[in-house]
Amino acid sequence: MNLAGLQQMKREGKKIVAVVAWDYPIAQLADRAGVDLVSVGDSVGVNLWGQQEGEITLDEMLIVCKAVRRGVKRALVSCDLPPQQGTEAAVRLVKEGGADMVKLNGTAEAVRAVVRAGLPVFAEFHGGGAVAELVVQAKRLEEAGASLLDFRHSGSEAGPAVVRAVSIPVLGGLGGGPWLDGRLRMVHAAIGYAADNLDAGTESYANVARITLEAMTAYAEDVRAGRHLKGQRPA
């Protein structure tokens, strides 16, 4: 997969499948499932490591990006630029981290600066304003050189309007919808990995949290009862 392939998918009306992944095993599974884009999100700090929002560092993102890159053979890999980081950090994510492109939430000027360094950009922006204003914002990001857009909270009116207004693919992260060129979702949310899924209040395609809890409970029971563990033969 490459950027030209994603743009061809937009022209042909084929939906782009994108996921957020943070580690090597999940990246392998996502790639094997045939997703088109794997985004290494700075959300790893909050959702996997228990950090505060915006606390993650460039060095930490490089570690995660390298791990995901090792697991992905087919899909494109995008990596989030940490908060308060600039073009030099973006270059490191590509050269050291192995990302195919850099994802950033910023102005057209920020996009233009990274593009001038020779790096493809996945630009994020948010809905909530007037449709005409959001269309203008999307066009400015495209004109600045963005190769992809992540239009969060797009809505069923602004979403289609932006898709029609730009020639680059428009994906939807949080609050995205089928009116966009594709969707972006955290793998851990899709499979029900978080402890919140134990309460069965979140929408997911599986409940890995419950399966994991049951498996770990069974493991603990076997150890405490002095039984041989599943999958292990007596010596």
Q: What confidence category does residue 137 fall into, taking pLDDT thresholds of 50, 70 and 90?
A: very high
Mean pLDDT for the stretch of residues 99-111: 93
Q: What pLDDT shows up at residue 177?
A: 87
Q: In the chain, which ranges are continuous DSSP H helix?
A: 3-12, 24-32, 44-47, 58-71, 87-95, 108-116, 131-143, 158-165, 187-190, 208-225
Mean pLDDT for the stretch of residues 205-230: 90
Chain-centre distance for alpha carbon 218? 33
Q: What pLDDT shows up at residue 234?
A: 62
Which stretch of DSSP H or E encloses residue 78?
strand 76-80
Q: What pLDDT shows up at residue 221?
A: 94
Q: What pLDDT shows up at residue 167?
A: 96
Contacts of 161 (CB under 8 A, 6+ apart): 131, 134, 135
Q: What confidence category does residue 200 fall into, taking pLDDT thresholds of 50, 70 and 90?
A: low
Q: Calculate the average pLDDT of the chain.
A: 92
Closest CA to 153 of 105, 90, 218: 105
| Strand 16-20 relative to strand 170-172, pairing | unpaired
- For every residue of 40-86, DSSP letters joined together read E-TTHHHHTT-PPTT---HHHHHHHHHHHHHH-SSSEEEEEPPTT--
Q: What confidence category does residue 25 fall into, taking pLDDT thresholds of 50, 70 and 90?
A: very high
CA 120 to each of CA 15, 146, 160: distance values in angstroms, whole numbers, following the listed order? 21, 7, 24
Mean pLDDT for the stretch of residues 125-151: 95
Q: What pLDDT shows up at residue 47?
A: 84
Residue ranges per structural domain of the chain: 3-190, 199-235
86 exposed, middle or buried (CB, 10 Å; 0-12, 13-18, 19+)?
Answer: middle
pLDDT over 90 (residue 198)? no
User: What's the whole-model pTM score?
Assistant: 0.90
The C-alpha angle 72, 3, 18, rounded to 5 degrees, equals 50
Residue for token digits 């600066």? 113
Say whether 127 sits in a helix, a strand or coil. coil
- Name the fold adopted by 3-190: TIM Barrel (3.20.20)
Paired tokens of 36: 């088109």
Per-residue model confidence as pLDDT tens digits over 143-192? 999 999 999 999 899 999 999 999 999 999 888 889 999 999 999 999 99
% of the chain exceeding 70 in pLDDT: 97
Q: What pLDDT shows up at residue 197?
A: 80
